[in-house]
Amino acid sequence: MTVANMYKEKGSNPYRPWPARITSIIDLTENERLFELRIIDESVREGFQFESGPFVELSIFGVGEAPISISSAPSKQGFIELCVRNAGDVTGALHGKKCGDIVGVRGPFGRGFPFQEMKGHDVLLVAGGLGIAPLKSLINHIHDDRHDFGNVSILYGARDPSEILFRYQFDMWKHRDDFDLILTVDEADETWGDEVGRVTALFDMIDIDPDNTYGAICGPPVMYRFVIDEMRKKEMDVDKIYMSFERRMKCGIGKCGHCGVGHQYACIDGPVFNYWEAMNLQEAI
């Protein structure tokens, strides 16, 4: 039984976190770490199915909960990866944990990217900073079924080289033909051999087949408008440009009301919306 059905058919308490053991911690940057978790209950672990883009509520009893995107691909069986920036109470407490410690997760919640619909097309992924976290899941997912996709381009920008996440993996990918990967930073240093400048400047470097390309965007809120402008200049369709929204969330299941965006809730109606939907959501971008 999938976790979704445990909630919907069996009536499992959706506020009750599943205990999960931290099985690996990788320092990505000074403030960001990649946590690999293994849900302890076997039936929950096996039923934990999702498409790229959903999130979990990370739950640390005594501190609270925070929504965190699932960074690993759905195909990664038995483990989930969370790429977490130390930004406050819950994420700070997580950063204080060691391998073998137990935390809680609720979910997976939310609507992800339309993976099946994207198949057979080109995909252009644009990430800014920590926005790479949910896109990483999609990238790995595409990688699993690479022959089902056309050209896949990734544009990824960060403030400076020390803030580029997953650099080791990207360095590896750069030498393969699977993805066209372009990295950029606002401020370079002597280690940097890639681009310098805003992620939007990279659009001049790529060719897009507008009728055949899906877009996927995630980054800081200010970034969306500029990236969408570039995609529209390239004549990509409004309903093929997808983006993930970050809002305050307490429940993740459409009850607490905190994540309202326009007339919808980011937690259950999103967090991934296409641009047409986003245009119809007041104050979305």
Partner 1 sequence: MFFRVMDTSRLPDLVRGLSRDHEVIGPVAKEERFVFAAIDDPADLRLDYDTTLLPPKKLFFPPEDQMMRFRVADNEVLDDEVFAAPRVLLGLHPCDINALLLMDNIFLKDYVDPYYKARRDTTLVVGISCVPTEDCFCNSLGTDEAHWGFDIFLTDLGDRYFVSVRSVKGAELLDDFVETREITDADTAAFQRVTRERKDKFTQDVDTSQLPLLLDAKFDSPVWDELGERCLSCGACSMVCPTCYCFNVRDDLAPDQKTGTRTRLWDSCQFSEFAAVAHGQNFRESRASRVKYRYYHKQWGYLSKFERVLCVGCGRCSTACAADITPREVIAALAKGGVE
Residues that bind ligand FAD (CB under 6 A): 55, 64, 66-69, 83-85, 87-92, 130, 133, 246-247, 249, 271
| Contacts with ligand FES, 239-278, as mask; x by CB under 6 A | ----------xxxx-xxxxxx-----x-x-----------
Site membership for partner 1, residue 262 (CB under 8 A): yes
Nearer to ligand FAD, 52 or 213 (CB): 52
- Beta-carbon contacts of 252 under 8 Å, excluding residues fewer than 6 positions away, are 55, 56, 57, 67, 106, 107, 109, 110, 267
Site membership for partner 1, residue 174 (CB under 8 A): no
Q: Using CA atoms, how far apart are residues 3 and 253, in angstroms rounded to an integer? A: 14
| Contacts with partner 1, 17-56, as mask; x by CB under 8 A | x-x-------------------------------------
Nearer to ligand FES, 124 or 261 (CB): 261
Q: What is the DSSP string of 91-153?
A: HHHHHT--TT-EEEEEEEESB---HHHHTTSEEEEEEEGGGHHHHHHHHHHHHHTGGG-S-EE
Q: Using CA atoms, how far apart are residues 189 and 207, in angstroms rounded to an integer? A: 28
How far is C-alpha 86 from the chain's CA centre?
16
Q: How far is the CB of 65 from ligand FAD (least distance, A)?
A: 8
User: Which of ligand FAD, partner 1, ligand FES, none does residue 161 bind to, with CB < 5 to 8 Å depending on kind?
Assistant: none
* Residue 102 burial class via C-beta count within 10 angstroms: exposed 0-12, middle 13-18, buried 19 and up: middle
Site membership for partner 1, residue 82 (CB under 8 A): no
User: Which of ligand FES, partner 1, ligand FAD, none does residue 15 bind to, with CB < 5 to 8 Å depending on kind?
Assistant: partner 1
First to last CA, the chain: 37
User: Cα separations (Å) of 71 from 42, 74, 107, 152, 230?
Assistant: 21, 9, 14, 18, 26
In the block, residue with structure tokens 């899906």: 214
Q: Is 151 left (phi over 0), alpha (psi -120 to 50) or beta?
A: beta
Q: How far is the CB of 256 from ligand FES (least distance, A)?
A: 3
| Contacts with partner 1, 53-72, as mask; x by CB under 8 A | ------xxxxxxx-------
Q: How far is the CB of 63 from ligand FES (least distance, A)?
A: 18
Q: How far is the CB of 88 from partner 1 (least distance, A)?
A: 6
Nearer to ligand FES, 51 or 57 (CB): 57
Q: Which residues bind ligand FES (CB under 6 A)?
A: 249-252, 254-259, 265, 267
